[in-house]
Amino acid sequence: MKLMLTIAWRNILRHRGKSLVIGAILFTGAFLMTVGNGVITGMAAGVETNIVNGFMGDVVLVSDAQKSDNILLPLMGSSIEPITSYKRIKPILAAQPYIRHALPVGKNLAMMLDEKTDTPGFAYLIGADFEEYRKMFPDNFKVTEGRYPRPGERAMLFPTFARGEFYNFYNIWFLPEGGAVVKEHLSKEALAAGAALPVSSSVVMMGMTSGINSTNDLRFPIKGIVEYKALNQIFGHFCLVDIESYRECLGYFTAADMAAQVPKEEKKLLALEGADLDSMFGGEDMMVSGAGAAREKKKAAPSGAAKTAEDGTYNAVFIKLNPGATYKRALASLNAALTQGQAGVRAVSWNKASGPIGSMAVIIKVALFLFVTLLFCVAVIIIVNTLTMAAIERTAEIGMMRAIGAHKTFIAGMFLGETAILSAVFGGFGITAGVVAVRVIPLFRITTTNDILQILYGGNFFHPLLSLSGVALTVLQLLAVTVAAALYPMRVAGGITPLEAIARD
């Protein structure tokens, strides 16, 4: 072995030109593979931070009646099926040791009504208990104007992106209650209006959903203007509102409705979802307005009736898992528990529930992986070609070594040794340079406002990451390149005979 490596080292020195070519390829490949793995790791961490920890959690519960798993951005804004069984779901979730936090939310499309124009606008509403929402997603956005709503307060938080879009449609600049125009926050179009800029501190929305007899147009007071820390253009389509106002807008039963003391038969009706409720009646003339029923039950409710935000109707439950929980196992276990408990809901992964956002993240991750694989293949092809040419050029030398007793395995080992030495030296420098680059790149704070690039970047600035496992993966990839690149040249060199060497001379 020592003799084999000594000869391999001397051959590297004798053929410096080809050795430097192979070394440069190994250095570049190792560097790019290291940085590529860092970008993939950083993107995965960014997706977890911005989407999982900042917007919808690891797992989402949807109604069994919901046809599509995509509830965040459904095709044509189709409505999300309601859930009325959260009190039955809650103890099931509490019994699962891998669940850290659960947040029931309402989510559906609403139409914006404007008194000055006949053209409606659209926005997604997310209804939640503000206090519980803040506990689950404490740092996903910042309030740039106004304030965060108080517990139990009727309110809307209006995103900066939606504000700019609505101004372009309606020529109205939305402000928080009691707020003034902040010149630095105006869009170019709003800034051009100057002192004539029309403003409003409330917005009228009408819920849009199927399976409900009627929805309401409701005026939401705007308490704050918010900006998401990342993916602001995507998440900026969602206005956050208190859960009770959301239910009233969508025509759902509120907590007050569910707490009302009504006959047992009517309580069964309240618990039915839209499609089941409609099927009990033969025509539209027999239907009762959800909003009207809600008002009647509010009047009938005794003053001491208990009500919580967990009562009433929801459309989904966002769930965060404990750190270290096995994702697939947790999803399978939760679905089994929900089925056994007849909860009427199913658990889906965040990337399925987020629809095109989750698909984009997966596509970008696959594309990066394919890029690294392409580097792997190119490096192997170039090194194979260079080593094969070197073996052919050294036919006389290899034939002489065979003539004095060198076995095929010795010749093959010598070529593998040359490749291994070059890989260890130049590939090692490439990995080191890649690690340094991954650590240095975040210092430049390369930012972007493009949401697609933010998914790639892992946030609003480019932040590749490398762990010890990432470095180990690059080392394994480099080892695979070394072995794959040396196999064919080893075979060519081992097949050279003394007779071929004499004939070539």
Spatial neighbors of 374 by CB under 8 A, at least 6 apart, are none
Residue linked to tokens 């794959």: 484
Q: What is the pLDDT of residue 470?
A: 83
pLDDT averaged per 10 residues in sequence order, the chain, 505 residues? 68 75 87 88 82 91 93 79 90 95 94 72 91 92 94 93 89 92 91 89 85 74 93 90 93 73 48 49 40 39 50 92 91 95 94 82 79 82 83 79 80 81 90 93 86 77 85 88 85 76 60
Q: What is the pLDDT of residue 370?
A: 84
Annotate 99-135 with b (16+ C-beta within 10 A) or e (fewer): bebbbbbbbbbbbbbbeeeeeebebbbbbbbbebbee
Residue linked to tokens 């989402």: 60
Which region, left, alpha or beta, applies to residue 143 given φ > 0 means left and ψ of -120 to 50 means alpha? beta
Q: What is the pLDDT of residue 289?
A: 36
| Cα distance between residue 70 and residue 66, in whole Å | 9
Are 324 and 39 in contact by the 8 Å Cβ rule? The answer is: no
Q: What is the pLDDT of residue 184?
A: 92
Closest residue by Cα to residue 82 from 123, 51, 127, 133: 127
